Amino acid sequence: MIDLGVAFPLEILEKLRTGIYVYQDGRFIFVNEEIERISGYGKEELLKMDPFDLLAEIVDRENMRTFTDMTESEEFDTLPEKYVAKIRRKDGSLAWVELKAFPAVYNGKGAIVCNVVDITELVMEEQRRKTIEKYVDLVGKIIRHDVANKVSAAMNLLELSMEQREDKLVEKAYDVLTDSIKSLKRLRNLEMLMKTGGKLRAVSVREVFEEAGKNYSIDVEISGDAAVMADDGLYSIADNLLNNAVKHGMCKSVRVIIKSEEDKTIVRVEDDGSGIPDEIKGKIFNEGFHSGGGQGLGLFIVASLMDRYKGSIEVKDNEPSGTVFVLNFPLLV
């Protein structure tokens, strides 16, 4: 057990690059400069505050109180060697720290000295890596779903053309396959963007839906326009919503309404199809869920991409019949 102030003067700890604090009687009695840097609080502020108020999560507060009690009771055998906790800095931002505590004596009384390492960058980098892996996996799902659907549609058109000797069907199949190649190029770019942690860019919603609408024989009416922060995945959103309206809703027309409000851009995709039963509305964005044919990926892809764009999607009934998908994007500033 370390005897602080005698065998190990606190002044030695002041300039260390690792964070050091000493806890006794429910408060900090010493913090070094690195603790000030990590927390954003000054020394006097830290010495006056409840140390547990620094912890951002309730579970961390509870665990740290338990570990503190165990240390003060000299129950060292069951203490974790290290503990990672999330703290809230003075400016409100979050940081992650790795804590390693030791029993000590200060002025003849029991105390706890804790080594604190700022691992925020490591945690953030791991989160970025997992996010990239998540969306690269999503690109794979988009390729399997979107392009497979288009190739299947082209094959069906070619089969019909052979039966009916109809050249226009061959031309339509050619157009669909050409669009498939274009989609693959976009997805390749999207995959590279995600792997490199690339930033989103301003994209015209109207232009995207106009291009996606060319692949369908129904009427697609578009009103309004707005730029949103997105990437080539927005084409997949438009195509999947139109495909859902045609394939599952059996609609005759789709209306896309684009408008910006004070804090968001709203895109309503309204169809006049058969609608979606209330009992499955809460499931349609789940991966693998389908109410008949299909892979159960289309709307899952839409919801996942909207999450990437820091937006949201909801589904409503249209009047007198059909479905409305409402896309909410953060307002472009």
Q: Is the pLDDT of residue 157 over 90?
A: no
Query: CA–CA separation, 185 vs 17, rounded Å?
Result: 49
- Which of these, 144, 172, 146, 145, lies nearest to 158 by C-alpha position? 172
Please report which confidence band the pLDDT of residue 57 belongs to, taking 50, 70 and 90 as the band edges.
Answer: very high
pLDDT tens digits for 207-235?
Answer: 999 998 988 888 999 999 999 999 888 98
Indicate the helix (H) or strand (E) that contains 21. strand 19-24
**Average pLDDT of the chain, as a whole number:** 84
Helix, strand, coil abundance in the chain, percent, nearest 5:
45, 25, 30
Cβ distance 240 to 306 under 8 Å?
no
* Averaged pLDDT for residues 35-54: 94
Count of CB atoms situated within 10 Å of the CB of 146: 23
Q: Is the pLDDT of residue 250 over 80?
A: yes
**One-character DSSP codes across 288-330:** T--SSSS-S-HHHHHHHHHHHTT-EEEEEE-SSSSEEEEEEEE
Please report which confidence band the pLDDT of residue 291 belongs to, taking 50, 70 and 90 as the band edges.
Answer: low
Of all residues in the chain, the percent with pLDDT exceeding 70 is 84
Cβ distance 258 to 225 under 8 Å?
yes
Query: CA–CA separation, 45 vs 115, rounded Å?
Result: 20
- Which of these, 261, 276, 232, 243, lies nearest to 327 by C-alpha position? 261
126: Cβ contacts below 8 Å, ≥ 6 apart: none
Confidence at residue 308, expressed as pLDDT on a 0 to 100 scale? 86
User: Partners of 223 in the beta sheet?
Assistant: 257
Q: What is the DSSP letter of 143?
A: I
* Averaged pLDDT for residues 285-311: 79
pLDDT tens digits for 127-136?
Answer: 777 776 777 7
Q: Is the pLDDT of residue 8 over 70?
A: no
Confidence at residue 271, expressed as pLDDT on a 0 to 100 scale? 95
* Averaged pLDDT for residues 146-151: 71
* Averaged pLDDT for residues 178-204: 69
Residue type, 298: G
Please report which confidence band the pLDDT of residue 53 belongs to, taking 50, 70 and 90 as the band edges.
Answer: very high
Indicate the helix (H) or strand (E) that contains 264. strand 264-271
Confidence at residue 300, expressed as pLDDT on a 0 to 100 scale? 84
Confidence at residue 12, expressed as pLDDT on a 0 to 100 scale? 67
Please report which confidence band the pLDDT of residue 150 belongs to, taking 50, 70 and 90 as the band edges.
Answer: confident
Range with the poorest average pLDDT among 33-42, 133-142, 242-251: 133-142
Confidence at residue 89, expressed as pLDDT on a 0 to 100 scale? 94
Please report which confidence band the pLDDT of residue 331 belongs to, taking 50, 70 and 90 as the band edges.
Answer: very high
Confidence at residue 197, expressed as pLDDT on a 0 to 100 scale? 59
pLDDT tens digits for 108-121?
Answer: 888 888 999 999 98
pLDDT tens digits for 67-103?
Answer: 888 877 777 667 788 899 999 999 999 999 999 988 8
* Averaged pLDDT for residues 249-272: 94
Q: What is the DSSP letter of 8?
A: B
* Averaged pLDDT for residues 274-290: 87
Indicate the helix (H) or strand (E) that contains 187. helix 167-195
